[in-house]
Amino acid sequence: MVAACVALIAACGDDDSNGNAAGTSSVPPATSTSTDRADDGMCEAFRDIADLDDQFQGELNSLLSEVQTAAQTGDEAAAAAAVDQMVSTFQSLIPTTLEPLLDAYDRLAEAAPELAADAQLVRDFTAEVGQAMADAGSADEVLAGVGDLAEQQGVEAGSAVLRLDEVSRAECDIVIAD
């Protein structure tokens, strides 16, 4: 059970895929209508998203690594304790990393209204996954909460990230999905 939980969270939190196989978006790219967006707040928001997402993913991957190490021992009690510790530590990341990341998506939507739908979709998915992890009290709850969200909204959110990344690369030279 814990191994399945770790695999699921790793898949949802994997910065390289964003819920999709590399380059597998069948959704048309989001586009910006402006030729110079460097000074309107869009690129600043993209920079913050990239930096905060990297920080968030780094913290999450570190926590997942600890859970995976405990799970590999075969000691279910130790693995469950590691999951509990991960949830507790994750809760401390909410005000320092997750909330600023969500704010950056809000700022992107304000700075580039033509990207607002995708920014809101990714923001909402990120917030819901974060809330599901913060509310979880056990490996079973993490698996259920995050798994349900990934199944229901993961592909759509992943496609939105890829569309936003296309614009961030083209107009700001910033990578948000690598």
CATH number for the domain spanning 100: value is 1.20.120
Residue 128 in any domain: the answer is: yes
Global pTM reads: 0.73
* Distance from C-alpha of 20 to C-alpha of 159, rounded to nearest angstrom: 7
Q: Exposed, middle or buried: residue 64 (CB in 10 Å: 0-12, 13-18, 19+)?
A: buried
State residue 26's pLDDT score. 37
What domain count does the chain have? 1
State residue 173's pLDDT score. 95
State residue 165's pLDDT score. 96
Residue 126 in any domain: the answer is: yes
Residue 25 in any domain: the answer is: no
Residue 33 in any domain: the answer is: no
Per-residue pLDDT tens digits of the chain, which is 178 residues long: 333 344 344 444 444 433 333 333 333 444 444 445 556 799 999 999 999 999 988 887 888 788 788 878 888 888 888 878 887 888 888 888 899 999 999 999 999 999 999 999 999 988 988 887 777 766 667 667 777 777 777 788 889 999 999 999 999 999 999 7
Residue 26 in any domain: the answer is: no
Backbone φ and ψ of 68, nearest 5°: -60, -40
> Which ranges constitute the DSSP H helices of 18-138?
42-72, 76-93, 99-111, 116-135
The number of beta carbons lying within 10 Å of the beta carbon of residue 29 is 14
Radius of gyration of the chain (CA): 17
Residue 147 in any domain: the answer is: yes
Residue 120 in any domain: the answer is: yes
Residue 24 in any domain: the answer is: no
* Distance from C-alpha of 135 to C-alpha of 11, rounded to nearest angstrom: 19
User: Which domain, by its residues, includes 83?
Assistant: 38-172
3-class SS of residue 29? coil
**Smallest Cα–Cα separation from 170: which of 31, 15, 20, 22?**
31
State residue 139's pLDDT score. 62
Which H or E element spans position 159? helix 139-172
State residue 121's pLDDT score. 94
